[in-house]
Amino acid sequence: MQRMSLLFREQGIDFCLVHIPAMLDAVLPQTVGPGYQTRPGCRFRPDQFAQPVLSPAELNGLNQLFALKKQVERLAGRWAVKNLVMQETGLSPDAIEIHNDASGAPVLASSFDYAISITHSGDYALAALCGDVNAIGVDMEAIIPVDIPALLHAGFSEKERNAYAGADLETILKIWTIKEALLKYRRTGLKTPVKKIEWLDETLYENHLPIDNVLVKSFQLDKVIFSVVFPSVSTTHPTESSSPF
């Protein structure tokens, strides 16, 4: 059986990787099932959950989504965050409330002093949590075949396309996650064109100028690649690690 959640710490940041099908079997048994990616949304009831997971406000927000895939991804991302907060506080999942701020980014209720970020790709959801910084951004891509030329054209500058000509899939996906993680860190979404963000010589650039106030770390597990962006000035401890890498 696929392990539902993997919790680990790297660079002073806590992560929880959730295998979505395994989570559905455990949290919503005999409710969603396979093929959820193409089905319309449904209205979930509290009694369908194997244990209390969402607050009433969170459940209401879940039921406002029109696609079951979006509902499942939101549930998985929040389940990942709640696992991390439970580890820190011992609270039950439904006592940990997550909502979206004005930019659409997920944030914990004001009673929790943690920065969070959530990402989904393929069969996985990932959450990052840190109490030592005021913002964090994480992005993940499942390692599956993609149209590399199309991705390079859509999100890479001419300088990057020249630098990464012939690069393998994992390298291209890593750079893409770095760009997306920075946008999540800033909570700007697509207001900043992805091509204006460059990753060259292990340095982030915007409009050809280096971005010197953030740190970037990228990781690869068996089936996913993810990157995290966080402030360069923090109280994290770079040598502390309990990750599976």
**So what's the pLDDT on residue 33?**
82
Tell me the helix, strand and coil percentages in the chain, rounded to 5: 35, 25, 40
| pLDDT over 60 (residue 243) | no
Work out whether strand 124-130 and strand 137-142 pair parallel, antiparallel, or are unpaired.
unpaired
**So what's the pLDDT on residue 37?**
92
| Cα 22 from chain centre | 18
**So what's the pLDDT on residue 238?**
36
Residue 9, H or E segment: strand 5-10
Alpha helices, H only, the chain:
20-27, 56-62, 68-89, 148-155, 158-163, 169-186
| pLDDT over 60 (residue 242) | no
**So what's the pLDDT on residue 2?**
56
**So what's the pLDDT on residue 214?**
96
Determine the average pLDDT of the residues in 126-142: 95
Determine the average pLDDT of the residues in 144-152: 94
* pTM assigned to the model: 0.91
Q: Label residue 104 left, alpha or beta by phi (over 0 means left) and psi (-120 to 50 means alpha).
A: left
Domain with CATH 3.90.470.20 in the chain: 5-132, 139-231
| Cα 52 from chain centre | 23
Determine the average pLDDT of the residues in 196-210: 96
| pLDDT over 50 (residue 235) | no
Q: Write out pLDDT tens, residues 48-104.
A: 999 999 999 999 999 999 999 999 999 999 999 999 999 999 999 999 999 999 888
Residue 210, H or E segment: strand 209-210
* For the chain, percent of residues with pLDDT exceeding 70: 94
CA atoms in the 13 A half-sphere facing the CB of 33: 4
Q: How far apart are CA 120 and CA 140, in angstroms?
A: 6
Q: 68-89 vs 20-27: helix axis angle to the nearest 10?
A: 80
* For the chain, percent of residues with pLDDT exceeding 90: 80
Q: How far apart are CA 188 and CA 103, in angstroms?
A: 7
**So what's the pLDDT on residue 154?**
93
Q: How far apart are CA 167 and CA 171, in angstroms?
A: 6
In a 10 Å sphere around its CB, with 0-12 CB exposed, 13-18 middle and 19+ buried, how is residue 203 labelled?
A: exposed
Q: Which residues contact 111 (CB under 8 A, 6 or more apart)?
A: none
DSSP 41: P
Q: How confident is the model at residue 234 (pLDDT cuts 50, 70, 90)?
A: low
Q: Which residues contact 149 (CB under 8 A, 6 or more apart)?
A: none
Q: How confident is the model at residue 236 (pLDDT cuts 50, 70, 90)?
A: very low
Report the range of poorest mean pLDDT among 141-155, 159-173, 225-239.
Answer: 225-239
Mean per-residue pLDDT over the chain, rounded = 91
CATH number of 139-231: 3.90.470.20
Phi then psi for residue 107, to 5 deg, are -140, 150
Determine the average pLDDT of the residues in 176-199: 91
Determine the average pLDDT of the residues in 207-218: 95
Are 223 and 125 in contact, with CB atoms under 8 Å apart? Answer: no
Written out in words, the top-level CATH class of the domain with range 5-132 is: alpha beta
Report the range of poorest mean pLDDT among 129-143, 144-158, 179-193.
Answer: 179-193
